[in-house]
Structure 1
Amino acid sequence: MTISGRRRLAPPVLPASRRRGLRQVLAATATLALLATAACGGGSAGDQEPGAAPTTDSPVQLSVAWWGGPARAENTEKVLELYKKSHPNVSFTTQWQGYSGYYDKINTSAAGRNAPDIIQIDNRALREYANKGLIADLNPWAGKTLKVDQIDPKLLGTGKVDDKLYALPLASNTQALAVDTTVIEPLGLVPPETGWASWDEFGTWAAQVTTATGGKVWGTRDESANLSAFEYWLRQNGKELYDGQKPGFTAADATAWLDLWAKLRDSGAASPAEVAQPANAGDISKNTVATKQTVATFSYDNQLTELAKATDHKLMLVPLPGPAEGAYARPSQFFTAYAGGKNVATAVDVINFFVNDPEAGAILGTERGLPPNDQVSAAILPSFSEQLKYVAAYDDRVTSQAGDTPPVPAQGDSQIVQLLISAAENAGFGRQSTSDSAAEFFSQTTSALERASS
């Protein structure tokens, strides 16, 4: 910004990682600006009237996009094939990838008015996509094509923005630490299934693990860059990540969070920044439990299925340290319908099939999380593998003590994810003090949320 009456100075030279992080945030902002232009006047049902019946008596082709690993891809394709058996005129094209870069690809296709007909999103993108008019208001189909009576009202409400239903939860899950018991059982350091009473107790345990392995495996991954873990910790301290369209925390809170992880790194409990960094983008294949670099890492309970396939070690789920109020039952992902699609009604019918059909539920299992439909969940639970039953039991135990589900994240949340990664890496690699990194993160978060809502 040029200030009238002042000489414009040459911009400072930033470290490479900070330049990269800033470019990612600016690129996301620019893409969303294009998205807003492309979606202007969105929220309609494409070529159909909102609430219209699905059209499957003539050929219909729908595109479906999601992120996830090979197990999710296999299950999703099987459900689409099952739908086609009773709807032979409907065909699908699919695209899937890891979480990193997923929204960039969706935003780019939306800017070209060519977004997938069915889009998997999480709650961090919901408000933004709804406000931009990218995804269709599903209210006209609710109670007709879209059956919602067997979904817990609180869980169903997580798909609403301003009382309009934009997304149907595909599953629910809750927060956990995935812990490698193959490493810690011989050491006599298996934690209780209820976890640790405090973060200090957790730090002591993790340092003991690192020492017992001779430093070959760290007790825990450095999770300072993980916005979901930060949110959990804030809730334990009586705060939320957002207060409407403003941060729900202070710069002092952010400093305390970065200090917590600096202390864990210094004690040897947590991995150094260079070990943690490859997994900061959320790629499960780079998870440090899967790569056997740490014993514990942040996870969602449904991810145990994918993690277990990535390692030959035995894993367990343990709640995050401290008060149980930090946890909450959350929609693991949603399916949404592109507002500009040519056959939104059929897309809605497919979404309904994923959520409410018992055969589909049996195929999907708990890879995305627990089925949102209570009847489907009860019907398929007996057929679950021991691993899936274990995930379901963990989820029930934790969510029975969990706090309330927070409101839909603020518009611009996707940018905050990257801002925390940049701040945590700056502190972790020693480029900035924790207080300076936190202050910059808080300032940038405040500005990004203001811009996102303007």
Structure 2
Amino acid sequence: MTHQLTRRQFGAITTGLGATLLLAACGTSATPTSAQKASAGDKFKKASLTFAFWGNPVRNAYTDQIIKNYEKAHPTITVAQQPGEWATYWTKLSTQVAGGTAPDIIQMDQAYIAEYGGRGALADLSTIESIDTKPLKSTLDEGRLNGKLYGIPTGNNAYAVCVNKTLFEKAGVEVPDDKTWTWDDYLDTAHKLTQGSGGAFRGTNWFGADQELKIWLYQRGEDLYTKDGKLGASVDNLTEFFAFVQKLFTSGDGPTNDGYATDIAAAVEQTLFGTNKVAMCWMWSNQITAYQKANGGDCALLRPPSKAGSADKNGVYYKASMYWSISSRSKAPAQAGGLVNEFLNSTSAAALQLAERGVPANPDVLAVVKPKLSATDQLAVDYMDAIKDEITNVPPVPPKGTSTVGTVAQRHEQDVIFGRATPVAAAKAFKSEVEGLIASA
């Protein structure tokens, strides 16, 4: 699931990383030679590692068990765990990095790969031989920046439209063919659902952050970001996107204007989809279990609609749920790599963590995980498998300064739906703001 940082949290990160750069300028190498010589043969030499991650009670418990099992099997390795919560994790990490006490192993998010890796705080994992990357090849580009591998995905998700088939049946509407449906078909389906519900619910929600925008742009020959770290979106395509949002809200088949502002910040069980007030919902594939538990419906994941009405042109992509990274200042990169490898490639570890950190990329690991999944978790795995041969979109790693772009997009969309801006004015303002974020990073 994608999270957003507040401006205060983001400021703390960039301030802390600025201090890291200052230390490097004073003569301390940002990428020590130990990280460049992390041979596989050193992975069980005596070392004390620190391991930082944000989590929840379930994640904390199985992470602890995996680490304890690893320590028992390899008594030369000891691990000090640093579990945290999302709201405070990044502020603490930036302070650690600035003070030269960064954890050896860091659970990382896509939005901050460039913020940390691009400023010299993360090791190039391709130089750490204790991590077997061969079974993970299909996901590695998601963690590369300027040719260096700063993070390896813990597992993957994909964006989708989730449908509540129970509400479809109540409205007398057929679930569309997601291999051929277009954006017009999506609007038409939402309208039929609204009309067929008799006022009990509306057709669809709308999230409207950068993930919808990435898909929209790719279908039109662009990416949100270019490979060299610039904004890749034209005013014309942005205008078309904001005009679509305006059409959805004007139709009355999506959320109310005020309902949208509330919905994008709500907990799952309080969302429009979670409370059966809409029949379709944009979400990451791993969220289906939580949403279905909330609404009690019979849910299914559909591919996003496309401009061309073709599944292989809809721009859907695999996104890392989160990443494993290693500090560039780690004194034991080979040993840190050995533990990262355990989480990525060990079937015994997989039996404990299942798909909680995303659908595993390693086929052998996935084979262990699949039979143990709940029925709704299995739907997410099946969706990922169904789209694998259709994916042609591999979005570049977001450049430095862009961690808040999702909320920037939502703010400009609200300007459009509340009538404070025209689609073209919103497009120009969004483009200018994001270019400013990148330029000032």
Shorter-chain TM range is 0.7 to 0.9
Asked whether the equivalents of residues 153 and 322 of structure 2 are also in contact (C-alpha less than 8 Å), the reply is yes
Query: CA, structure 1 residues 188+418, in 2 after alignment: closer, same or farther (shift >3 Å)?
Result: same
Q: Alignment partner for residue 234 of structure 1, among 202, 207, 217? A: 217
Q: Which residue pairs with 2:335 in the alignment? A: 346
Asked whether the equivalents of residues 73 and 96 of structure 1 are also in contact (C-alpha less than 8 Å), the reply is no
Q: Which residue pairs with 2:380 in the alignment? A: 391
- 1:124 counterpart letter in structure 2: A
Q: Distance between the aligned counterparts of 2:127 and 2:260, measured in 1?
A: 45
Query: CA, structure 1 residues 370+48, in 2 after alignment: closer, same or farther (shift >3 Å)?
Result: closer
Query: CA, structure 1 residues 137+48, in 2 after alignment: closer, same or farther (shift >3 Å)?
Result: closer
> Residue 215 of structure 1: CA displacement?
3.6
Q: Which residue pairs with 1:186 in the alignment? A: 170
Query: CA, structure 1 residues 70+187, in 2 after alignment: closer, same or farther (shift >3 Å)?
Result: farther
Query: Any unmatched runs of 5+ in structure 1?
Result: 1-20
Q: Distance between the aligned counterparts of 2:101 and 2:168, measured in 1?
A: 49
> Residue 448 of structure 1: CA displacement?
1.5
> Residue 237 of structure 1: CA displacement?
1.3
The answer to whether the aligner puts 1:415 opposite 2:400 as a matched pair is no
Matched position secondary structure for 1:427: helix
The answer to whether the aligner puts 1:32 opposite 2:20 as a matched pair is no
After TM superposition, the structure 1 = structure 2 runs for residues 421-432 of structure 1, keeping only pairs within 5 Å, are 421-432=410-421
Structure 1 range deviating more: 213-222 or 255-264: 213-222
Q: Which residue pairs with 2:193 in the alignment? A: 209
Query: CA, structure 1 residues 306+96, in 2 after alignment: closer, same or farther (shift >3 Å)?
Result: farther
Asked whether the equivalents of residues 176 and 318 of structure 1 are also in contact (C-alpha less than 8 Å), the reply is yes
Matched position secondary structure for 1:406: coil
1:138-177 CA-partner distances (Å, limit 9, x unpaired): 23313xx11112223x422322222222211211222211
Q: Which residue pairs with 1:4 in the alignment? A: none
Asked whether the equivalents of residues 365 and 388 of structure 1 are also in contact (C-alpha less than 8 Å), the reply is no
1:11-42 CA-partner distances (Å, limit 9, x unpaired): xxxxxxxxxx9x95586356414313225536
Asked whether the equivalents of residues 123 and 328 of structure 2 are also in contact (C-alpha less than 8 Å), the reply is yes
Matched position secondary structure for 1:402: coil
> Residue 261 of structure 1: CA displacement?
1.3
Matched position secondary structure for 2:170: coil
Q: Alignment partner for residue 197 of structure 1, among 169, 178, 181? A: 181
Q: Which residue pairs with 2:136 in the alignment? A: 151
Q: Distance between the aligned counterparts of 2:277 and 2:96, measured in 1?
A: 37
Q: Distance between the aligned counterparts of 2:168 and 2:44, measured in 1?
A: 55
Asked whether the equivalents of residues 121 and 329 of structure 2 are also in contact (C-alpha less than 8 Å), the reply is yes
1:193-252 CA-partner distances (Å, limit 9, x unpaired): 62661111111111222233344433211223x101110111111111112222111223
The answer to whether the aligner puts 1:136 opposite 2:120 as a matched pair is no
CA-atom RMSD, angstroms?
A: 3.1
Q: Alignment partner for residue 63 of structure 1, among 51, 60, 65? A: 51
Name the % identity.
25
Q: TM-score, normalised by structure 1?
A: 0.82
- 1:133 counterpart letter in structure 2: G
Q: Distance between the aligned counterparts of 1:373 and 1:425, measured in 2?
A: 41
Query: Any unmatched runs of 5+ in structure 2?
Result: none
Q: Alignment partner for residue 439 of structure 2, among 446, 450, 453? A: 450
Query: CA, structure 1 residues 193+393, in 2 after alignment: closer, same or farther (shift >3 Å)?
Result: farther
Matched position secondary structure for 1:177: strand
Query: CA, structure 1 residues 106+232, in 2 after alignment: closer, same or farther (shift >3 Å)?
Result: farther
Matched position secondary structure for 2:163: strand
Q: Which residue pairs with 1:265 in the alignment? A: 249
Query: CA, structure 1 residues 137+285, in 2 after alignment: closer, same or farther (shift >3 Å)?
Result: farther
- 2:19 counterpart letter in structure 1: T
Query: CA, structure 1 residues 279+336, in 2 after alignment: closer, same or farther (shift >3 Å)?
Result: farther
